[in-house]
């Protein structure tokens, strides 16, 4: 630049002296250009003196040579830098290192300079391979130029480029064998490999073309769905169900509990390089530290992964009873805290080997497992007990009259139900467990299943600087499920603000799907609040089933509207009729119906029991006269209406009129 300026300054007077305004011979060049009166002159600039001419030519020539040398030197430097980069980065020439094309994307100057360099240096041996690859890269970079780059993907590149320039550089080495097992950077990092995480991964991939999503999970399994673990899998005819983990839906179609088979996923090693991005699952690793400011996490093996957007979907860990925890190893060896695939496998085996199993807990999981084991008990001589402090099964969810009715049904499934019982202590005596209850009773059993609640996994709150909710537990997030910039939380671990129903934490499958999907949308820029109300369902035997939505807490005032049920009003009939294998909602979630194919005769649902007529109906849960929760009792495929009613949040004077909307008398 300076050279140009200097040379121009030298040339300027010369230039001026050759303007049409004339030039006087024998006068200094400077004065001429300004002092001269424009007179008509010949425009052809024939210099008067040869020496001036010489100087002129020398100066101009010198300038050209000088700039030529400058450009050449600059090109050489660039070439050297380019070759160095190529050598560093491309060991086997087969790859198309995605991140490296970014070098060219970022600086237009560099891009244009690369082409002439390649052309010039093409034939030379050391650069031959480099040249060939460069052409590939050229193609890639031009492709990239045409592809829509979202902010996320383009901003990921500077980070990886920086890493390239570090002397360690090893991270970006594209020798396939030397690719790091754990990618150092993931644009989308999902902590936890459960339902919420998978739903988010799917949502991100749908909305961000070519997104690279890394799921980090402690578990050894790929993402799977939990409900069949306490329902369908127990009713399978397949003796190998423990291995296959497949179950038959009502439409006869079988499916696996895994959301997708292995071929759906990309390996974590290949994630940064694969052309259209993908979802990778890193199993058996736990995230132990989160640096929210630095946008990175640390795993239990010391590796660090940086991210741009992070989802915390760590779920929860089953709670244990203090009385069992302090009971010693022999007792704890014989206790299952049921949640994962391995718990299902072990309990399935145990249920064939022992004489008696006792389930502690009367909520969803406890009751479902009790019913599942109770059915199995009818084929074997297994004794199944269920102990819980409430007055009846689902005592915290169903109003008392319904909870009592449900308890009777569970008993009919072959379960020895013991309500109003609190465990005081558990001992291991003579090869069996003895459970001592607070009222003095003793229950002797061989194995215990504890289903007493879920503790949300909030260990990352401390390092990540994330807020934990003291009322509901879990990470506190806003309506958009965001905890801090770039960090979202979904699933069981999220205590979120529901615009309609207030702050809550929900531990259901559909909520994990809905919140995971929403978090994925918001991670790709949607900024939508939690709006689509999730639902849940439960089946207790083939003849009692319900779907529910909203806040369903038995401490709230309720209004139940019932009709007499016919044989057609059972979960089994509902799914057979609709032809889907699964009890489904219109466009959102499919829900699986409970129980296996049975040749059991239709139960006594047709004839009303004494005072006991809750065959089918709808129950409204009210808070300040507004409906905040609905249970559809043996009434199916009506969830959209219930969802609408809750969304409206209106006060209705006559709930019978609202109940009419559900047409409970139709099948």
Give the footprint of other proteins on residues 191-210 (CB under 8 A).
195, 198-199, 201-207, 209-210
Contacts to other proteins from residues 362-421, by CB under 8 A:
399-401
Q: Are strands 383-387 and 416-418 parallel, antiparallel or unpaired?
A: parallel
CB atoms within 10 A of CB 665: 12
- DSSP secondary structure, 502-545, as one string: EEEE---HHHHHHHHHHHHHHHTT----S-S--EEEEESSTT-E
**Does residue 660 bind other proteins (CB under 8 A)?**
yes
Contacts to other proteins from residues 617-646, by CB under 8 A:
644-645
CB of 648 to other proteins, least distance (A): 5
| Encoded tokens for 132 | 């060939």
One character per residue 158-197, x = contact with other proteins (rule: CB under 8 A): -------------------------------------x--
Q: Which residue in the set 120, 471, 553, 648 belongs to the binding site for other proteins (CB under 8 A)?
A: 648
CB of 325 to other proteins, least distance (A): 34
Considering CB under 8 A, how many residues would be counted as binding other proteins? 74
Contacts to other proteins from residues 306-365, by CB under 8 A:
none
Q: Which residues neighbour 316 within 8 Å (Cβ) at sequence distance 6 or greater?
A: 454, 455, 456, 457, 492, 493, 507
Q: Which residue in the set 363, 392, 560, 629 belongs to the binding site for other proteins (CB under 8 A)?
A: 560
- In 3-state terms, what secondary structure has residue 269? coil
C-beta of 348 vs 480, nearer to other proteins: 480
**Does residue 650 bind other proteins (CB under 8 A)?**
yes
Interatomic CA distance for residues 425 and 161, integer angstroms = 61
| Encoded tokens for 30 | 């400077």
CB atoms within 10 A of CB 143: 12
Q: Are strands 442-445 and 185-191 parallel, antiparallel or unpaired?
A: unpaired
- In 3-state terms, what secondary structure has residue 377? helix
C-beta of 133 vs 204, nearer to other proteins: 204
Q: Which residue in the set 563, 565, 595, 605 belongs to the binding site for other proteins (CB under 8 A)?
A: 563
Interatomic CA distance for residues 626 and 518, integer angstroms = 26
Contacts to other proteins from residues 575-614, by CB under 8 A:
580-582, 584-592, 613
CB of 418 to other proteins, least distance (A): 24
Rg (CA), the chain: 37
* Contact call for residues 388 and 365 (beta carbons, < 8 A): no
C-beta of 189 vs 290, nearer to other proteins: 189
Interatomic CA distance for residues 315 and 494, integer angstroms = 8
CB of 234 to other proteins, least distance (A): 17
Beta strands in 192-334 (DSSP E): 212-216, 246-248, 254-256, 278-282, 287-291, 296-299, 304-312, 316-318
Q: Which residue in the set 43, 177, 240, 263 belongs to the binding site for other proteins (CB under 8 A)?
A: 263
**Does residue 51 bind other proteins (CB under 8 A)?**
no
* Contact call for residues 565 and 605 (beta carbons, < 8 A): yes
In 524-638, where does DSSP find H-type helix?
A: 571-578
CB of 490 to other proteins, least distance (A): 13
CB of 273 to other proteins, least distance (A): 14
CB of 388 to other proteins, least distance (A): 20
One character per residue 435-474, x = contact with other proteins (rule: CB under 8 A): ----------------------------------------
Residue 146 main-chain phi, psi, to 5 deg: -90, -25
Contacts to other proteins from residues 232-251, by CB under 8 A:
249
Please choose, out of 256-264, 322-330, 359-367, 369-377, the segment that lies near other proteins by the rule CB under 8 A: 256-264
Give bridge partners of residue 247 from the DSSP assignment. Answer: 255
CB of 71 to other proteins, least distance (A): 42
- DSSP secondary structure, 118-176, as one string: HHHHTTSHHHHHHHHHHHHHHHHHHHHHHSPPPHHHHHHHHHHHHHHHSTT-GGG---G
C-beta of 71 vs 661, nearer to other proteins: 661
Q: Which residue in the set 216, 222, 225, 321 belongs to the binding site for other proteins (CB under 8 A)?
A: 225
C-beta of 356 vs 393, nearer to other proteins: 393
C-beta of 492 vs 585, nearer to other proteins: 585
Please choose, out of 95-103, 260-268, 343-351, 458-466, the segment that lies near other proteins by the rule CB under 8 A: 260-268
Please choose, out of 46-54, 453-461, 485-493, 656-664, the segment that lies near other proteins by the rule CB under 8 A: 656-664
Please choose, out of 409-417, 451-459, 598-606, 654-662, the segment that lies near other proteins by the rule CB under 8 A: 654-662
Q: Which residues neighbour 631 within 8 Å (Cβ) at sequence distance 6 or greater?
A: 398, 546, 547, 548, 552, 618, 619, 621
Burial string for 545-570 (b: 16+ CB within 10 Å, else e) reads bbbbbbbbebeeebbbbbbebeeebb
Q: Which residue in the set 162, 353, 379, 654 belongs to the binding site for other proteins (CB under 8 A)?
A: 654
C-beta of 83 vs 578, nearer to other proteins: 578
Contacts to other proteins from residues 480-539, by CB under 8 A:
513, 517, 520-521, 528-529, 531-532
| Encoded tokens for 379 | 């084929």
């Amino acid at each position: 630049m300076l050279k140009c300026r200097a040379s121009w300054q030298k040339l300027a007077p010369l230039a001026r002296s050759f303007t049409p305004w004339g030039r006087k011979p024998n006068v200094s060049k400077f004065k001429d250009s300004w002092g001269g009166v424009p007179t008509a002159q010949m425009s052809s600039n024939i210099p008067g003196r040869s020496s001036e001419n010489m100087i002129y030519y020398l100066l101009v020539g010198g300038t050209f040579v000088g700039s030529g040398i400058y450009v050449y030197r600059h090109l050489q430097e660039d070439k050297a830098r380019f070759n160095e980069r190529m050598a560093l980065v491309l060991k086997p020439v087969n790859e198309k290192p995605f991140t490296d094309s970014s070098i060219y994307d970022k600086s237009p100057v560099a891009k244009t300079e690369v082409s002439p360099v390649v052309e010039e240096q093409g034939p030379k041996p050391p650069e031959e391979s480099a040249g060939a690859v460069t052409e590939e890269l050229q193609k890639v970079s031009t492709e990239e130029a045409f592809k829509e780059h979202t902010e996320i993907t383009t901003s990921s590149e500077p980070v990886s480029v920086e890493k390239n320039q570090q002397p360690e550089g090893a991270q970006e080495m594209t020798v396939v064998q030397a690719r790091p097992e754990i990618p150092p950077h993931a644009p989308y990092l999902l902590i936890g490999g459960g339902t919420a995480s998978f739903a988010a991964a799917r949502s991100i991939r749908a909305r961000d073309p070519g997104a690279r999503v890394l799921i980090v999970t402690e578990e050894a399994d790929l993402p799977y769905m939990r409900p069949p673990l306490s329902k369908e899998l127990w009713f399978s005819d397949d003796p190998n169900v423990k291995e296959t983990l497949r179950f038959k839906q009502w439409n006869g179609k079988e499916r696996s509990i895994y959301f997708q088979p292995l071929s759906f996923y990309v390996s974590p090693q290949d994630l940064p390089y694969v052309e259209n991005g993908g979802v990778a699952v890193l199993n058996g690793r736990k995230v132990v530290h989160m640096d929210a400011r630095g946008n990175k996490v640390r795993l239990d093996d010391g590796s660090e992964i940086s991210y741009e957007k992070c989802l915390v979907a760590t779920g929860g860990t089953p709670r244990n009873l203090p009385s069992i925890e302090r009971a010693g190893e022999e007792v704890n060896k014989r206790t299952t805290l049921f949640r994962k695939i391995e718990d299902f496998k072990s309990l399935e085996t145990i249920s064939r080997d022992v004489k008696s199993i006792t389930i502690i807990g009367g909520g969803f999981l406890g009751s479902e497992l009790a019913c599942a084991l109770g059915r199995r008990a009818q084929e074997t001589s297994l004794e199944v007990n269920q102990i819980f402090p409430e007055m009846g099964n689902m005592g915290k969810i169903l109003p008392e009259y319904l909870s009592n009715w449900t308890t009777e049904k569970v008993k009919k499934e072959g379960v020895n139900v013991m309500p109003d019982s609190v465990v005081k202590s558990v001992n291991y005596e003579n090869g069996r467990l003895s459970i001592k209850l607070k009222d003095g009773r003793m229950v002797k059993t061989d194995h215990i299943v504890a289903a007493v609640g879920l503790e949300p996994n909030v260990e990352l709150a401390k390092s990540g600087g994330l807020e934990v909710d003291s009322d509901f537990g879990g990470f506190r997030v806003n309506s958009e499920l965001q905890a801090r910039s770039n960090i979202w939380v979904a699933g069981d671990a999220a205590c979120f603000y529901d615009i309609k129903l207030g702050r809550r934490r929900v531990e259901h499958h559909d909520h994990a799907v809905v919140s995971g999907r929403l978090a994925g949308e918001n991670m790709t820029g949607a900024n939508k609040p939690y709006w689509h109300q999730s639902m849940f369902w439960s089946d207790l035997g083939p003849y009692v089933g319900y779907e529910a939505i909203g806040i369903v807490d038995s401490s709230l005032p309720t209004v139940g509207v019932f009709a007499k049920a016919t044989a057609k009003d059972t979960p089994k009939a509902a799914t057979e009729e609709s032809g889907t294998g699964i009890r489904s909602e219109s466009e959102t979630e499919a829900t699986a119906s409970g129980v296996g194919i049975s040749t059991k005769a239709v139960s006594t649902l047709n004839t009303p029991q004494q005072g006991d007529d809750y065959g089918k109906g709808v129950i409204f849960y009210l808070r300040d006269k507004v409906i905040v929760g609905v249970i559809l009792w043996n009434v199916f495929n009506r969830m959209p209406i219930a969802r609408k009613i809750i969304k409206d949040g209106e006060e209705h004077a006559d709930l019978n009129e609202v109940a009419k909307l559900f047409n409970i008398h139709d099948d």
